Chains A and B, each alone.
Chain A
Amino acid sequence: MMLRRPSRRHFLRASLGALALPLLDSLRADAASATPPKRIVLLYTPNGTNPDAWFPTPGASSTDFTLNSIHQPLAAYKDKLILLKGVNNAVGQDPDNNGGPHQRGIGGLFTGQMLGEGTFQDGCGSKAGWAAGRSIDQEVALLIGQDTLLASLELGVRCMDNDVQGRISYSGAGEPLPPINEPITTYERLFFRDTPAAPSDTLRAESIMAAVGDQFKALRPRLGQEDRVKLDEHLALVEDLERRMGLGQSDGGCAVPLPPPSDIDADSELTMPDISRMQLDLLAVAFACDLTRVASVQYSTGFNRIPYPWLDSPEEGHSLSHSGDSNTEAWAHLAARQQWHAQELAYLMDRLAAIPEGDGSVLDSTLILWGNEVAKGNTHSLDNIPYLMAGSAGGALATGQFLDLGGISNSRLLLTILKAYGFAGETFGHPDYADGGVIPGLLL
């Protein structure tokens, strides 16, 4: 396995501090085509928000609003934001759904789907399986992710639960995609490639993959029905990987950064802010080099116990989010944590805005959708989910708005977003909550 090192590539020296991954100012999107490709990012933060510090103050019209305290780090991007009130995680509120509120909430957040039956436990009582359908990032990947090295890139920042509360992205019903928590693994996935230097290398790689395919074929007739489905899915992934191996290899103006440190502890409250920046930097590089157009960034998991010591907020997250409304200090902490996440979002936007593409920047072609599995921790409310959109997906969305939609299903929001990427369907998510079509006033 060789790290590909074409001579034209730049290797950058760290300039942003010991742990920051460098990016060149001259980093430039690869696409030379007239119309830049669209991109999408899902962003997840856990345990609900502080609604009093989240929702803007409305003005005379949807474009006239005042940002609340959590969103102050995004003030410079106000005209690129869409804030929504009155969007419910409707499927999560269905009494027939499986699991507890954090499970249902995260399962339906980007899928609009119920949870299947299963044994993942929310505490000792509520049990559930995985979400019963595809998430919008993966639906978008089917539309715009077929010609890149990776169909999508799932990133985690201290996302350590390996059950339904630890997954936001699904390639299909019961098919969750695990996030990468270690920046070095993200880096290797993006930049370490077998690069055929000679025709014999190509012959070797192709022959090995052919033999692997032959072994799948040799085994298949001897499998029971369930195993056959399981291994057919595996083989399809092998074939897709093989097809993509040659993609995204053009140099363009894209720079391969130095690798992030390989020994950083990805499960530590001390490293979480650094890891966030490294992952966001690598995401920006992945977009700039057109290695993928679809990504998600998951900060921890529903129901976590993470403290935020860099904000002088040592309380464990889930416990803090259960504080009573009269505990103003606790709610100030929750607002501060959400504000930190808004700052990380602003950082990602800064990074994307710094990558020139066409007449603008990569940010112009991107939509970032931020969501949370519950609205408020101490009630587990699934009404008024704090969804925020940043960016217009290439001018497809009317940004600079705050809309109160009065209590609609999140399936309509997810459908509206999908329409910005050319989705042909007229509904998305569980059929019981998919009526109503796109949200008026968002699509241009």
Chain B
Amino acid sequence: MRPLLSARPVVLLASLWWALGCDSFVTAPPSDPPPEESCDLADGPFSQARLLTRSEYRRTVHDLLGQTEDPTAPFPHEPEVDGFDNNASAHKANPLLVESFLRAAGAIAQGVKERGLEPLLPCAEEDAVCAELFIEDFGRKAFRRPLVPDEVTAFKTLYSRLQPALGHAEAIVAIVEATLQSPQFLYRVEAPKDQPEYGAVPLGPYEMASRLSYFLWGTMPDEQLLDAAEANLLATPEDVEGQARRLLADQRAHERVLEFHQAWFGLDPLASVARDNSPSGLLDSLDLSMTAFIDGVMWAEGGSISDLFSSPALYVDSVLAPVYDLPVPAAGFERHDLPGERSGILTQPALLTLLANHDQSSPIRRGVFVRDRLLCAPVQAPPPTVDNSPPDPDPTLTTRERFAVHTESPDCANCHMAIDPIGFTFEGFDQLGRARTEEHGLMIDTTGALVDSGDPTIDGPVSGVTELGARLAGSSAVARCVTGKWFTFALGRSRSSADECALAPTYAEIEASGGNMVELLVALTKSPSFRLRSPHPAEAAP
């Protein structure tokens, strides 16, 4: 299992920092579409060729060639759109990336040569017949579909140019190197048919196989998926559901689910934050603790959105145990259930540490996090003239009292009434996520409120973060927000109004499952937005 703080782009939580003051109004989250809204996906957005991200490239090369080293460390980072690095239109070639592909292909091919070609070759004869068998067999995996004749010819030409001078094996290695730079490998292309198309188009079976495997595993389809595609067994929602369930039962889905949560919660910057009084190794351990928590909720506990906000679990190792006043485990991480103190993601120390200042908690960042990431109901940025540096720690006041200026000034209160009362419910935790009942000897007040959350059923006074978690756990706005984040992650784009309309049965399915997150993923794969694409415009002459 890769820890959450792997070599992923580290991106500042600019939005959280920014929203320290505010001059505008709360933005309403997306609401139910009016009934006359079209659910027709024919008008786009078009499905775009999707360039592999670094994590997808790494896993694909591993599954295709058994490459265990990560070749993507020097790759430039993808643009980050809505928190995700796989946006179809923003992630595209640039000189540094193309150069990185070239260099990686050479290094990976060298590794293939050193490990030996036997695992890749379908035949032992060192001749052109075997080479062609290899091209078709390896090509089908690498391009994630059978090769068309021109593609076979291109590789046969390469083989016949090199074989006389370099021999059979070197020529095969060269085909691998060329494959890794071919657009059919680097991009997931959902190509149009040859004639003009009308209406939303079902994906081809191989296109569907790739959508499924890259969504749920972040890698190429396995042999079973390719076989299902070949037998045209990915055409109905039931077919898709069956494969989705199979993929989700595989360990590879665990890593992908972690990758999603890391992006959703914006955890990357945790690797480089500085917090007063933190022991060495804290950040790495916090990261692993969060990984254990998400894994536990998703796969060992109930696996529902509600569990994410209510699980009392806290996982500590020998670094974290003294910080959180728990017994040091003999080895690794040990789970402690702390009902009353810990309740779900909101009280995980990794998140509490991230959403803090170096010397104090940050009700603002915590409140903004809940609005942005969990409710999808952000508030607007503060006016540029606001002095939004946090007030200095003052031993005669609690953090809450120091931030009172926000709600005393009418200019600030307009937005901060929607942020601070959420953030104050977290005041039972300091900048390292340690539970506390007092600050400088003053009693802490953890009462707060949800105001204009976008879900009227959860608005109102809140007694503390446990109750906040419980409210969020039962909110349809939160379930919809989470589903929307998964949609963005799955399709590399945000929802259009037609998507939103077509998702109505998906939301219903998720609700019927009690907000189970595995069911959420299955329901998404069955949704029209996942199984269909809008038609490409009528083809101009190439």
- A contact set with B: CB distance below 8 Å: 1, 100-101, 118-126, 150-151, 154, 160-163, 165, 171, 175-180, 182, 184-185, 188-189, 192, 194, 200, 203-204, 207-208, 210-212, 214-228, 230-231, 233-235, 237-238, 240-241, 265, 267-269, 301, 303-305, 307, 309, 314-316, 318-320, 322-324, 327, 330, 378-380
Contact = CB atoms under 8 A, between A and B. Distances in A.
Given A161-B14, A234-B92, 11 more contacts: A101-B384, A119-B82, A125-B379, A163-B81, A175-B94, A182-B74, A200-B165, A207-B162, A267-B272, A303-B14, A323-B389
Q: Which 7 pairs from chain A and chain B are nearest by CB?
A: A123-B381, A123-B18, A124-B378, A224-B536, A214-B154, A125-B380, A380-B384
B484 interface: no
Contacts of B526: none
Interface in B1-52: 9-12, 14-15, 17-20, 24, 27, 46, 48-49
Contact of A220 (B271, B371, B542): B542
A319 B389 contact: yes
Nearest to B185: A215
Interface stretch (B97-105, B450-458, B500-508): B97-105
B408 interface: no
Contact of B77 (A100, A151, A162, A307): A162
Given A1-B107, A211-B157, A204 B166 contact: yes
A204 B106 CA distance: 11
B148 interface: yes
A29 to B, nearest CB: 24
A231 to B, nearest CB: 5
Contacts of A241: 95, 98-99, 102
B389 A160 contact: no
B10 to A, nearest CB: 5
Interface stretch (B174-182, B230-238, B287-295, B464-472): B174-182
A122 B378 CA distance: 12
14 contacts: A1-B103, A120-B81, A176-B94, A177-B94, A204-B174, A211-B175, A214-B150, A217-B154, A223-B191, A224-B46, A230-B49, A233-B92, A267-B271, A316-B358
Contacts of B539: 224-225
B98 A379 contact: no
Contact of A212 (B12, B182, B368): B182
A304 B177 contact: no
A180 B379 CA distance: 33
Interface in B69-127: 73-74, 76-82, 85, 90, 92-99, 102-103, 106-107, 110
Interface in B365-407: 368, 371-372, 378-382, 384-390
Contacts of A101: 384
Contacts of B77: 162, 178
A380 B21 CA distance: 15
Nearest to B98: A237
B269 to A, nearest CB: 8
B79 A320 contact: no
Most chain A CB atoms below 10 A, which of B14, B106, B390:
B14
Contacts of A217: 150, 154
A133 B274 CA distance: 37
A81 to B, nearest CB: 30
B158 interface: yes
A141 to B, nearest CB: 10
Contacts of A322: 386-389
B4 to A, nearest CB: 15
A225 B183 contact: no
Contacts of A265: 272
Nearest to B96: A178
B380 A124 contact: yes
B151 interface: yes
A233 B49 CA distance: 13
A180 to B, nearest CB: 7
A123 to B, nearest CB: 3
B540 interface: yes
A150 B77 CA distance: 19
Contact of A124 (B18, B178, B189, B387): B18
Given A214-B157, A224-B192, A267-B10, A233 B389 contact: no
Contact of A178 (B14, B76, B536): B76
B12 A378 contact: no
A318 B389 CA distance: 8
B57 to A, nearest CB: 15
A237 B93 contact: yes
B96 A180 contact: yes
B384 A379 contact: yes
A217 B149 CA distance: 12
Given A124-B368, A219-B184, A230-B48, A162 B79 contact: yes
Nearest to A189: B99
Of A171, A177, A208, A216, which is in contact with the most chain B CB atoms at under 10 Å from its CB? A208
B187 A231 contact: yes
Contact of B9 (A125, A162, A182, A224): A162
A117 B452 CA distance: 28
A177 B96 contact: yes
A119 B95 CA distance: 24
Given A188-B74, A223-B49, A237 B94 contact: yes
A270 to B, nearest CB: 9
A214 B149 CA distance: 12
Contacts of B272: 160, 265, 267-269
Contacts of B274: 269, 307, 309, 314
B245 interface: no
B161 interface: yes
Contact of A211 (B154, B186, B381, B542): B154
B537 interface: yes
Nearest to B87: A119
Contact of A303 (B12, B165, B371): B12
A162 B378 contact: no
A175 to B, nearest CB: 7
Nearest to B16: A123
Given A208-B174, A211-B157, A267-B271, A218 B148 contact: yes
Contacts of A240: 95
Given A163-B81, A241-B95, A188 B12 contact: no
B79 A231 contact: no
A222 B192 CA distance: 7
A144 to B, nearest CB: 16
B536 A225 contact: yes
B181 A200 contact: no
A395 B152 CA distance: 56
Nearest to B81: A119
B260 interface: no
A389 B10 CA distance: 31
Contacts of B46: 224, 226
B188 to A, nearest CB: 11
Contacts of A215: 151, 154, 178, 182-184
B294 to A, nearest CB: 23
Nearest to A302: B14
B476 interface: no
B78 A192 contact: no
Contacts of A179: 76
Interface in B491-511: 494
Given A178-B94, A211-B158, A379 B385 contact: yes
Given A160-B12, A215-B183, A323-B389, A125 B24 contact: yes
B155 interface: yes
Contacts of A178: 76-77, 94, 96-97
Given A125-B380, A126-B381, A189-B99, A234 B18 contact: no
A188 B182 CA distance: 23
Contact of B80 (A122, A162, A180, A304): A162
Contacts of B540: 225
B389 A124 contact: no
Contacts of A305: 12, 17
Contacts of B166: 200, 204
